[in-house]
Chain A
Amino acid sequence: MQQAIQSAMKIDKDILERYHKNQCTAEESDMVEAWLFSNDSGEVLDLPPSESKDIHKLEIWNDIATVLPHSEQPGQFESISALNPQPLKRKVKMAFWSGAIAASLVTAIFSTVIFQLMKTDLPETALVNIKNTSADEVRHLTSGDYTIAVGTNTSARIDNVTGVVDLNGSMLICPKKDVELSFRGSTRKITFIKGQTYILLKGKDGKDKILIVDKKNLMDLPPVLQKQITHEFNI
């Protein structure tokens, strides 16, 4: 059924936008979801050349994730890997439908984390997208490349292909291998050493400087920030 719908209709920017806004017909929704669950890159997709299907997929997943009831235990996160597509479909589909029900009942925003693996020819977890909208609870998670603690009211996006991080909030990150990252709004590249934990802080404002400090030097930070971090991350 899904295959039939897919072949009969094209997924374009308009339908994706309407899906974001929950304005699709049932048939259109089925089609988008079929596309969403597929890892087949040969499907019909009519987007401008500048737009990435993968990014749209990710954004939809993020939208879905923001309304998911947070069923995991605190500190547990779902990690989705396309290298293992069956669990991906099963887990996400189940979560999606729970989320669809929750969306009509719950207006509160839930903390969310989505790992998205785009293509098998990209490194694992090419894009790590993180959103923690909790005001008082830090989220801990592990991806293929990092162990991360996401601070309260924090969103972050780590693009492992370009090595660019876009952060709004606070996080602790411990890479599993040496990695060089730069930060949106800055040309400076920072080498993060395998096994060391770094404190990253940045505000919403694009002009806000990002602060990167090795956790072992926490006590060298201004006490105001040090107290904020020790309390937030229970260090």
Chain B
Amino acid sequence: METAAGSRGLEIGDEEASFEVFFERRFASVARALVLVTGDEAEAEEVTEEAFARAWDRWDRVKTMASPVGYVYRTAVNLNRNRVRGIARELRRQRPPDRLADPAETAGDRDRIRRALAALPLNQREAIVFVGLFGLDTEEAAAALGIKPASLRSRLHRARAELRKHIGELDE
């Protein structure tokens, strides 16, 4: 543990070596990305907390990885997938696009975008968040999601097309 007590000069050393520092610095960014995948803030916080707990459980190994935060992202996304699978009829959960287009139901820009994302199939949602928000390139995102780069590009293309329909301001 990196503490003020243990560091005359109070310099933080290798940030990835201390789980606590890693957790403090990365928690919010992971949860913010996951809110777009899960569509719900409480769910995003829950899977993020669980993902960090699992990273902590095997921190000796995780901290030596090229990207510990990438591990947490992957874990969180997988946890969310399991959560979705566990819910009966979850595959039917996407809301019909015609409802999304109703401006009367728009409760603001944020909700509009979240609803448009929620209308995407889960695998497209993951793809677009990994690339668009995590900032991974297609090769990295494909590896993280365990699919071929070509599949990822295909999902991205379809996701962008769907989003463009509902948001209308998305460039290729």
Binding between chains A and B: no
Interface of B with A (CB < 8 Å)?
none
Interface of A with B (CB < 8 Å)?
none
